[in-house]
Amino acid sequence: MNKSAKRRVLFISSNDGSDMRINKELKTLSQQYEVTFIGVGLSNKESYARNYCKYFYLISGKRNRPLTILKQLWLVTKLAFKGYDSIHVINEQLMIFFYPFMFGKHVVLDIFDSIFLMKNKSRNKWLLIKKIIYAPVDVILVTDNNRKTLMPDFTQDKIRVLENFPYHYTGPIRVNSASSSLTLLYNGWLGKNRGTDLVNQLLAVDNNVKIIMAGWFADEQSRELIKHPQVDYRGIMTQEQALSIAATEADYILCVYASNNENNINASPNKIYDAIQTHTPVIANAEIKISTFVKENKIGVVIDNYNTFNPIELLAELSAKKNTFSFSPDLIETYTWEKIENILITAHAK
């Protein structure tokens, strides 16, 4: 093999590459590795990640459907023996389906929606199953130190923390808005337990609230929400586009999670760090661990409970605190993808 040739990475996901974290990872890996991407989505759709990959494959179909998984499995079967130096797998669910191909390779497991945390089985619960699933894995990536503590003891030496920081934002920042209305940015994974319930309650009590939505629908209730006259749905966007909208159009970024499983409670969303980069405060709920960070750094409003808040009181608080938040230059310089992306590069280096 030519010594100057790039090492080859097989990147397996159930997303089409538009997920903000996956997109950043592919861009970073492409700087030093030749990347083959296998995801799920429409092959004729323009992908933000395609240009970062030597080879880019999308399986047509809905993710987690048996036929889609079989199609993806067939493609992985054809490609797995073509001399890849490492394999990057998103979440444990895909590890299960492609398990036989993991042995004999350098495997990086990237966990940001853990099936075990969704089942409330953190740390050493279901230990035997975890030992089997993680057996072929060389490096495990998690999104913060708190999530690291939720992993089983035997994996701790394999874990590297790769946070959900955005790229450093250098675009325009809106001067304080004099308008009496409120504009909230609700983007990312759009679901009943990720903000849709809260948004519906706010819209029901105030005609001056505007919601900018962007991202993927987790349920029909969220899809129906875009029909509301006070909702402006912008489709799926890059992180750069989301940062620009947050900085120039939004008064707050919505960052709430129902506390119905450990994965939500321990979420480490990129929105928190988007807020810092764009000087746009967040709305978070007290049940999620990251709300402590929001309070300590005074970068947003924290509601007491996702399910039982008073929408009129919340809107009054948001209006009263609008334009009052400041963002430390130290925070802005610290929480950037540029500061941490080398962790991903070294994760794939044997």
Query: pLDDT category, 43, cuts 50, 70, 90?
Result: confident
> Amino acid identity, residue 136?
P
Task: State the chain's mean pLDDT as an integer.
Answer: 94
> 209-218 pLDDT, tens per residue?
999 999 999 9
> 71-105 pLDDT, tens per residue?
999 999 888 778 899 999 999 999 998 999 899 99
Mean pLDDT score, 228-246:
95
Distance in angstroms (rounded) separating the CA atoms of residues 144 and 288: 14
Q: Does domain 7-165+338-347 have CATH number 3.40.920.10?
A: no
Q: What is the reported pLDDT for 21? A: 95
The token pair that represents 336 in the structure block? 């950037």
Mean pLDDT score, 238-246:
94
Distance in angstroms (rounded) separating the CA atoms of residues 148 and 331: 22
Instruction: From residue 148, give the alpha-carbon distance in Å to each of 67, 119, 243, 337.
Output: 33, 17, 27, 19
Domain 182-334: assigned CATH number:
3.40.50.2000
CA R_g for the chain = 21
pTM assigned to the model: 0.94
For 46, list phi and psi in degrees, rounded to 5. -65, 125
Q: Where are the domains of the chain?
A: 7-165+338-347, 182-334
191: closest CA among 281, 254, 121? 254
User: E strands, 258-335, where?
Assistant: 282-285, 300-303
User: E strands, the chain, where?
Assistant: 7-12, 33-40, 55-59, 86-90, 106-110, 139-142, 159-161, 182-190, 209-217, 231-233, 252-254, 282-285, 300-303
Please indicate whether the domains covering 7-165+338-347 and 182-334 agree at the CATH topology level. Answer: yes
Mean pLDDT score, 121-132:
98
> 181-205 pLDDT, tens per residue?
899 999 999 999 999 999 999 999 9
Q: What is the reported pLDDT for 1? A: 43
